Chain A
Amino acid sequence: MIDVQDLSVSFGSGASAKQVVKGVSFSVTKGETLGIVGESGCGKSTVLRSLAGLDRHWTGTINLDGTDVDKDRTREQMLLTQMVFQDPYGSIHPRHRISRVLAEPIRAMDRGKGWDKVAAALEQVGLPAAFADRFPHQLSGGQRQRVAIARALMLEPEIILLDEPTSALDVSVQAEVLNLLADLKEARQLTYVLVSHDLSVIAHMCDRVLVMKSGVFVDELTKEDLYEGRTHHDYSRMLFEASAL
């Protein structure tokens, strides 16, 4: 589904250039959940934003569903991936009603009016259809993140990129959102790439985990490795020991 070869990202130019991601390669098969874990600033979110097409500073090849994509995406390529952002307070337009938030993807893509799909989209993420008339500030953080997930699903993408989808939420709400994501994945055969620094989230969700440090992947762990606490690199052991406390 996703195949990335030799992806490098650097910001700035000339002597002040800073290489954030240093030639990483990975692939994700259809229906898999890949986790990327690492400390703040290691480049994990940058990898995700390059995959989404938000960052334009990358070099290398990104192949989505069998076609190489460029920095400018065609509409068909845009339909393939959607993203859920970290902060549900900043990722929904504060002056749009929920109905508009959810109808916008369809309207922007010229795929109809979109209003008729709002109710079903809300129910699918476990929110009452009556929320359509509310503004985002009338919703809690968890409810907003559900709306953001519903919005990402409006165009029926096959790949969802999750940028720390629960780190801005309460612990009790985190579990609800993660379960919702797991259910949706099963129902729709979605492929997830999940970026997080929270190892318990990663262990709960992912089939395979890449450990990232200063722009390179230092370790790859399977689900079994995670359960048995097996690591292949000093850094990932350190990370696991720190979170076990």
Chain B
Amino acid sequence: MSAQIPSSEPVTRPRSAILSALAPIWEKLSREPVGLCGFFVLFLLLVLALFAPLIAPYDPAVQNLQAAFLPPSLSHLAGTDEFGRDIFSRLVYGARITISTIMSVTLIVGPIGLIVGVVSGFVGGRTDAILMRFTDIVLSFPSLILALAFAAALGAGLGTAVIAISLTSWPAIARLARAEALIVRNTDYVAAARLYGASPMRLLFLYIAPMCIPSVVVRLTLNMAGIILTAASLGFLGLGAQPPAPEWGAMISSGRKFMLDHWWVAVMPGLAILITSLAFNLVGDTLRDLLDPRHARS
């Protein structure tokens, strides 16, 4: 520590530099109309979820048996269900449940997968073998079955669903991050960093992890569509969000009984799930084109 070199004022990075770094991404994005549609739908979903009380014309939980099974009309955009609840309002409030499920799963899965994968790929040897065999074991659990077991043990609910989905979806991320780390650790810039004495932690977080993040982000976005579907399936089976919460899967489940006479009760939440997961897939594909040069379009 005796050789501490006094530094003058630290160089602060102007904000415009960050904006100028984002400009080419925006430019490329504007050339992807389909991807832009996906981003737009997701933006809409986010607005719906954030401002649900302002947007929804009715209370999603208030029952009105006189108005049961009304077909879609101007006063009830998506009709009403068997208790006379406005389906459109329920869909709007359901967006909150969907978004929070996706967010919690992604926030749990992303860091865990990234860290396990990067450490495994970078350290190698026995650590790699142990971590990857553990990953293989977890990978062999089907998420729905695991969620069933969880629901049986902890009681059905949204929290249980989130835990169960998270437990089964981090291995794919870990595998991906490991593959990237294996490539990056043998590059010359990591060799150069070793030569000037960068510690393993420094190599891991400043050199290797940043190179793995783009593909992990893409994978997470593509995973989101799957998360929606799994969460909806759990809701459909009665193991996700519990009634009267307006969870889309649970809504299909209850609408299924009236499918032939009152199609809108099941179809409207189905459409919501379809459009949302499609949008996530489109956004994931577009992000891959933007962030991952190896998938560049010809």
Residues of A within 8 A of B (CB): 52-54, 75, 78, 81-83, 85-87, 90-95, 99, 104-106, 108-116, 118, 132-133, 135, 148, 151-152, 154-155
Contact = CB atoms under 8 A, between A and B. Distances in A.
B17 A133 contact: yes
Contacts of A106: 5
A104 B195 CA distance: 11
Contacts of B191: 54, 83, 85, 91
Nearest to A89: B188
B273 to A, nearest CB: 36
B1 A110 contact: yes
A107 to B, nearest CB: 8
A148 to B, nearest CB: 8
B122 to A, nearest CB: 15
B28 interface: no
B13 to A, nearest CB: 8
A132 B198 CA distance: 21
A78 B195 contact: yes
Interface of B: 1, 3-11, 13, 17, 21, 187-189, 191-199, 202, 206-207, 210-211
A94 B3 CA distance: 30
Nearest to A103: B11
Nearest to B211: A95
Contacts of A99: 11
A115 B197 contact: no
Contact of B7 (A54, A112, A132): A112
A93 B207 contact: yes
Q: Which of B4, B21, B188, B210 has the most CB of A within 10 A?
A: B188
B7 A108 contact: no
Nearest to A78: B197
Contacts of B207: 93
A114 B7 contact: yes
A105 B6 contact: no
